């Protein structure tokens, strides 16, 4: 009987020790963090009147480590709701310069949890580290309304001055 208890205790110590020293998500290596981007000068830019990018395709990309949330400030777009959100990911920090590659992110790698007139939130829901470039497009602004030339020219319209 004592041999069974000793064997069971040794097995229990081995299993709990393996769990305690493993590098899986039982430790703090998969803790989430939140970064704001686009608030400070030089963070993001407008490519044209409808397209915003976090960083240039041929420059350094944003670090996108495991479980990171990025909240991208989009006030540069004039508080328009995004029509298209394109999160690109790469294993290299500067894929064009380093001869690397990149792809559109999907699934847990680039979870889009909010997209409104002031920001977009992207989450790396994996336990792997990447680099991120975000491109956001909004619908074109409607054309400015034109004033009717007849109303402007007839300053006394509405006073019953018609013959």
pLDDT tens across 29-51, in order?
667 899 999 999 999 999 999 99
Q: Which of 91, 94, 123 is nearest to 106 (CA)?
A: 123
User: How many CA atoms lie within 13 Å of 80's alpha carbon, on the beta-carbon side?
Assistant: 18
3-state secondary structure of 110: helix
Mean residue pLDDT across the chain? 84
How far apart, in whole angstroms, are the C-alpha atoms of residue 60 and residue 90? Answer: 11
Cβ pair 100, 54 in contact under 8 A: no
Q: Which of 10-14, 59-63, 110-114 has the lowest mean pLDDT?
A: 10-14
- The percent of residues above 70 in pLDDT, for the chain, comes to 74
Cβ pair 136, 77 in contact under 8 A: yes
How far apart, in whole angstroms, are the C-alpha atoms of residue 80 and residue 82? Answer: 6
Q: Which of 60-64, 98-102, 129-133 has the lowest mean pLDDT?
A: 98-102
Chain center to CA of 111:
8
Cβ pair 130, 109 in contact under 8 A: yes
Name the residue with tokens 């999907």.
Answer: 106
pLDDT of 64 strictly over 70: yes
Quote the tokens at residue 24. 């899986």
How far apart, in whole angstroms, are the C-alpha atoms of residue 153 and residue 163? Answer: 17
How far apart, in whole angstroms, are the C-alpha atoms of residue 161 and residue 86? Answer: 59
pLDDT of 158 strictly over 60: no
pLDDT score, position 48: 95
pLDDT of 21 strictly over 80: no
Quote the tokens at residue 35. 């970064």
């Amino acid at each position: 009987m004592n041999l069974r208890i000793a064997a069971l205790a040794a097995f229990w110590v081995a299993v709990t020790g393996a769990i305690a020293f493993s590098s899986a998500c039982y430790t703090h290596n998969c803790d989430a963090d939140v970064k704001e981007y686009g608030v400070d000068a030089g963070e993001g830019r407008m490519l044209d009147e409808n397209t915003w990018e976090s960083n240039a395709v041929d420059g350094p990309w944003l670090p996108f480590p495991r479980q990171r949330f990025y909240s991208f400030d989009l006030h540069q777009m004039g508080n328009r709701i995004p029509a298209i959100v394109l999160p690109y990911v790469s294993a290299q920090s500067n894929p064009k310069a380093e001869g690397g590659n990149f792809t559109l992110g999907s699934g847990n790698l680039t979870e889009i949890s909010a997209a409104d007139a002031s920001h977009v939130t992207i989450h790396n829901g994996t336990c792997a580290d990447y680099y991120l470039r975000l491109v956001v497009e909004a619908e074109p602004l409607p054309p400015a309304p034109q004033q009717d030339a007849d109303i402007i020219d007839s300053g006394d319209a509405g006073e019953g001055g018609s013959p």
